Every structure is written in C-alpha cells, then in structure tokens.
Structure 1
Amino acid sequence: MLEHSDDRAVNDWCIEHLGHPVAERTFTAGNLSVVHGLRLTNGREVVLKIRDEDPRLGACTWVQHRMWQAGYPCPEPLAGPLPLGTKVASAETPLPGGEGPAPADAPRQFAGLLADFVTRAEDLDPRPLLRPAPAWVHWYHKEDGVWPVPDDRDVDLNAERCSATAWLDELGAAVRERLEEVRDAACVLGHGDWDGRNVKFRDGRPLVVHDWDSVVHEPEVVIIGQAAAMFEGGPTGAGASVERTAAFLEEYQMARRRVLTSNERQLCWAAGLWVRTFNAKNFHLDAFDALGRDEAETRMRHAGIR
C-alpha cells in the first residue's frame, strides 16, 4: 500500500473514482505532468496522470474517448480529469512498449497515422475549449512581443534578449506574420505534439498515441506543419531534417488523399518553423542549440518568407 500523504491522496482518488485502492506503484515518470503506473487491489493496472488545472483538459479527454471508441490506437480514458489536491488527475488504461518505425519508413508511418487521426476526427464536435493551443503551437497569442508564455518554465521569453538569440526573435516575428493568413481559417482536430515520445509502433504497425493533453483544434496546415517538423523530435527541441520534413509532407498528402496547394505547403513549412523557432528560443536557456541558421534559412525559403 501507499503510505506518504501524497500517496494517500492518490489512493483516496482511486477508491473514489476507480472503485479500488492502490496495491502497488509500478513506475513514475513525466515532464509537465506526473505519471504513475498503478496496480489496484483488484489486480487492474492503470496509468494516473496528475497536472495543473487547464480548461482544455476536459475537451482533450472527450476527444480521446471518442477516438478510442472509433478504434484509434490510444489508451481508454477511465476517469477524470477530476481534482486531486491542488491538481487534477486522469486515469487511463496502460498501453506500454512499442518502438519507432524503421528510419527509412518513419515519414510514411508518422504521416499516415496523423492523417488517420484528422480523418477520423472530422465528424467530432470541434470543442472550442481546445483553443488556444499549447505554447509551442500558439503563434497567434496576444502577449506583448513575439513569444507566448512557455508551458515548461516561469519566464518571459520576450524579456530574454541577447545577441545570440536576436535572430530568433526576428525570425519568430516573420513566421507569425506569414501565418496571419490562417488566423481565421477553418480548423480541424489533430495532435499538437507528434513525435516519437508520444507515437509508438510495433512491428511496423501503429501501437499507441500518447499525450492526449496535446489535442488541438487548429488549421490543418498548422497541424501538418508542426508534425512534419517535429516527428523525429526529442527533449532538446530539435526535430526532423529538412529532407525528412519534405518527405513527411508528401506522405501526408498521399495518406489523406489530398493535394496541398503551393501556398498550403508553404504554410505547413511556416507552422513547423514556428515550433522549431519557439523551441530554439526556449531551450537556449538550457544551452541547447535547437535550430541552426542555415537550416532556418532553408525552412524560410520553403515557407515563402523572404
């Protein structure tokens, strides 16, 4: 049994919302959220996710549940989000394991699974509480300055000015201007953090999509673009190469059976460049170099930014 005060709160939450106390904690992980693997006294295993309250969470869970019902590869939501102390918690079924696809096949696998997500979600209620998007996708924020408030640290990126990142500030402003074209565009449901930490395969087939707190309701070019830039991303904020981004965009069009116009492709590149630039500005505080100037200039050309 769990013994500490926080553990007792988790135990009480499980009794109230899952019907049984906790017998054992099997793992603890997480970044923005604390994630516990739990075995209940009836033998059932669950994953409990604890994080700060956010108006988006209920809408994200609603989408996850509908996608699970539709047969999409994701954990089944079991309870929540519901209060746990000063936080909120959700429980879902565990779907552990999986690996990335073969390197040569990664653009097709990741793009195809995202296209399936967008297609399956077309008939779902758009859930207005899903906007605004998380910070790394939130280019249309209303903060003073180029950058929104980051989700992973208490800092004003607009106040972090230095010669080493001045070019990122200029680039971020240029990307925002390019994306103004889709500020009022029609939106679709998708996933806003589409990389190998959250998307798993097994034997070349989709196994599970995690991190449903990152469900977004954004223009399709934004959803495509951020995924194409970041599907091979990781904790340092770097992502897919220019060549792999281009391959992802081609594979997405084939999987979605939709040909993007030249302007739409540019907007995809711009949306991906926003994420890469935001990450570069944010992770500079950790001494990570997440975007080189040469790559940025290439992505700018693809985005139609001069």
Structure 2
Amino acid sequence: MEELFRSGHLSAVIGLRLANGRDVVVKVRPAAPRVAACVEVQRRLFQAGYPCPEPLTGAAPLGGDIATAEAYVPGGAMLPSADRAAAAFAEAFARLLRLAPSPAETSVLEPAPSWAAWNHAGDGLWPHPEGTDVNLDEVAGAEWIDDAGRRARDRLRIGGSAAVLGHCDWLAGNLRWRGDSLLVVHDWDSVTADSEDVLVGFAAALYSSVDADELATVEDTRRFLAAYGRARGRDLSADELQRAWAAGVWTRAYDAKFQHAAGLPITSLSENEADERLRRAGTARP
C-alpha cells in the first residue's frame, strides 16, 4: 500500500494506492453520529448519478475517531469559465437538492456544522466551533460582526419551508470541473438539513467566480440566486430571496467572528458588504 497524499483540517484525509492498484481516500475525524448519515446521503447521491466519490465503506470506529473510505476522483479544474461560474455552480447545487433523499430517509444529522448552525440549541448567538475550546460569544471587539450575525439570524427565524438535504460548504475548493461540466463534489461531511432558501443562501455566498481563494461578491451572489431559480424552474420568491441573503450573511459572519477570535485578518466579510447583504435581506440597520 502506498500513500499518495495527506491533507485536511477538521478531518485527516489520506490518499492511498492499495496493493491491487486501486486508489482510495480514507477520512478520519472525531466520532459523531452524523457521519454515518452523511455517508448514506453520499451513497444515495452516487447511486442517483450525482458526481460525488463512491463510498466504499460505512462509518467505522478507529480508536476514538471514526473513519470512512471512498473512491479517489483525481483531476479537474477549481473553477469553470468565469462567464459561466454562477450558472454552473447554481445548476450543480439545484441538481444536488433535486436528487438528495429527504431528511426523513436519513438518520441523525444534528448538530449541523458550526458555520451552518444559525439555529443551534445553545444560548448565545454563535455555535461552538469544531476543534477548539473558544467561546465566540465571549470574544470582544468587531461588534459589527455580532450585529450582522444577529440581524441575519433574526431574519431567518421568520418564514422558511420544510427542511431538505444539501451541502453547506459550497466552496470552490470542494468542487472540480471539466470545462463547465461538474466533475466531482467533495466534503460530504458537510451534508445538513435546512430549508431550501437557507441552503441556497449559503451556497450563493460561498462559491467563487474568478478566484478560488475569494468568496462571492454581492453581484456574484445575485447572479447565483437568479441562476438557481432558472435551474429549478421557478424564480425564488421575495421571501426566499431575503432569507437566502440572510443565510449568506450568517455563515460569512460566523467565519469572520472566528477569524477575529483567532487574531487573523477578517477576510470572510467586510462591514460595508454586510450592510449591503443585510439590506437585500430586508433587515438593514435603521
């Protein structure tokens, strides 16, 4: 057996070439009941023809952690062509939501990943980040981030449709393209259940159009939301649009708060951009 690569942040991701010549990816992360459900959703999507790696195992204990294995899908470009990026990312996301099983068909997916847990069960504004003991609610400074997150959360508490399953980390780094055609989507630990408009809002705020290291601009998000409506065959309603914008603010404000707490440059959101996105969410500052 030969090790091909090793990477990962919250998980250890190890590429292996087995003795029979087959290339696989093994992922090892802290044990959590939701991992088994994520693998099952990935398996169902693969069987439905969605471009994701084929799961080769279920979730298996490994010491105090849990491990899974999947087929290795190499290659592909980080981005489609710039003039097709919004449509390509949106169409891929619409297809995912269309083919995904319903939440009732899966086992437990709670808690959601922290950057998607706007409705977490804790008392404070921010959920607890994975892999650290920091309490974001106790971190002072950059009060505009807390204000943006609170306004976005309050808007998301109004309205919403029944939960569906989707991918809450629609970053360019998790997708690969062959031209403008989707080759593969990675990181299926990011499966979560929420209303369609929230999941679409996360994706529209996180994808990239011209640089995989930069998140969507306001205009990029607008284009994604319009393209998503076309892809699903029905434009987002005014309420769905506002909730989608609010969801994007919340996930990027969470990341900005974490960056501030860690003493890093705040790159996920600026105060001016938060104001513009919140205006589109119908919850601008008075």
| TM range, smaller chain | over 0.9
Deviation of 1:85 after TM superposition, in Å, equals: 1.4
SS of residue matched to 1:206: strand
Q: Give the distance between the partners of 2:107 and 2:237, measured in 1 at CA.
A: 27
The residue that corresponds to 1:121 in the other structure is 100
Q: Which residues of structure 1 form unaligned runs of 5+?
A: 1-22
Deviation of 1:167 after TM superposition, in Å, equals: 1.4
Alignment of 1:42 with 2:20, yes or no, is yes
Alignment of 1:191 with 2:167, yes or no, is yes
TM-score, L = length of structure 1: 0.87
Alignment of 1:141 with 2:117, yes or no, is no
Q: Is the 8 A contact 2:90 2:227 kept in 1?
A: yes
The residue that corresponds to 1:96 in the other structure is 74
1:62–1:245 distance in 2 versus 1, CA, 3 Å: same
The residue that corresponds to 2:34 in the other structure is 56
| Cα deviation 1:115-165 (Å, max 9, x = unaligned) | 000011256744251133211010011222211001243210011112xx1
SS of residue matched to 1:57: helix
Q: Give the distance between the partners of 1:42 and 1:293, measured in 2 at CA.
A: 54
SS of residue matched to 1:193: coil
Alignment of 1:271 with 2:247, yes or no, is yes
Q: Is the 8 A contact 1:221 1:265 kept in 2?
A: yes
Bigger Rg, which one: 1
SS of residue matched to 1:77: coil
Q: Give the distance between the partners of 2:44 and 2:64, measured in 1 at CA.
A: 28
SS of residue matched to 2:60: strand
Q: Is the 8 A contact 2:156 2:246 kept in 1?
A: yes
Q: Is the 8 A contact 2:41 2:101 kept in 1?
A: no
Larger RCO of the pair (alpha carbons < 8 Å, separation 6+):
2
Q: Which of 160, 181, 185 is the aligned partner of 1:209?
A: 185
For the aligned residues, what is the CA RMSD? 1.8
SS of residue matched to 1:129: coil
Q: Which of 204, 207, 210 is the aligned partner of 1:228?
A: 204
Alignment of 1:218 with 2:191, yes or no, is no
The residue that corresponds to 1:239 in the other structure is 215
SS of residue matched to 1:78: coil
1:122–1:300 distance in 2 versus 1, CA, 3 Å: same
Q: Give the distance between the partners of 2:131 and 2:217, measured in 1 at CA.
A: 24
Q: Give the distance between the partners of 1:58 and 1:161, measured in 2 at CA.
A: 37
Q: Give the distance between the partners of 2:135 and 2:184, measured in 1 at CA.
A: 35
Deviation of 1:45 after TM superposition, in Å, equals: 1.4
Q: Give the distance between the partners of 2:17 and 2:248, measured in 1 at CA.
A: 39
The residue that corresponds to 1:13 in the other structure is none
Alignment of 1:29 with 2:7, yes or no, is yes
Q: Counterpart amino acid of 1:175?
A: A
Alignment of 1:251 with 2:240, yes or no, is no
SS of residue matched to 2:75: coil
Q: Is the 8 A contact 1:168 1:277 kept in 2?
A: yes
Q: Give the distance between the partners of 1:53 and 1:122, measured in 2 at CA.
A: 23
Alignment of 1:301 with 2:279, yes or no, is yes
Give the fraction of aligned pairs with identical amino acids, expressed as a percent. 44
Deviation of 1:80 after TM superposition, in Å, equals: 2.6
1:70–1:125 distance in 2 versus 1, CA, 3 Å: farther
Q: Which residues of structure 2 form unaligned runs of 5+?
A: none
Q: Is the 8 A contact 2:102 2:164 kept in 1?
A: no
Q: Give the distance between the partners of 1:107 and 1:152, measured in 2 at CA.
A: 32
Alignment of 1:174 with 2:151, yes or no, is yes
Q: Is the 8 A contact 2:103 2:193 kept in 1?
A: no
TM-score, L = length of structure 2: 0.93
Q: Give the distance between the partners of 1:111 and 1:286, measured in 2 at CA.
A: 33
Q: Counterpart amino acid of 1:287?
A: L
Deviation of 1:59 after TM superposition, in Å, equals: 0.5
Q: Give the distance between the partners of 1:178 and 1:203, measured in 2 at CA.
A: 38
Deviation of 1:179 after TM superposition, in Å, equals: 0.7
Q: Is the 8 A contact 1:78 1:92 kept in 2?
A: yes
Q: Is the 8 A contact 2:51 2:185 kept in 1?
A: yes
The residue that corresponds to 2:110 in the other structure is 131
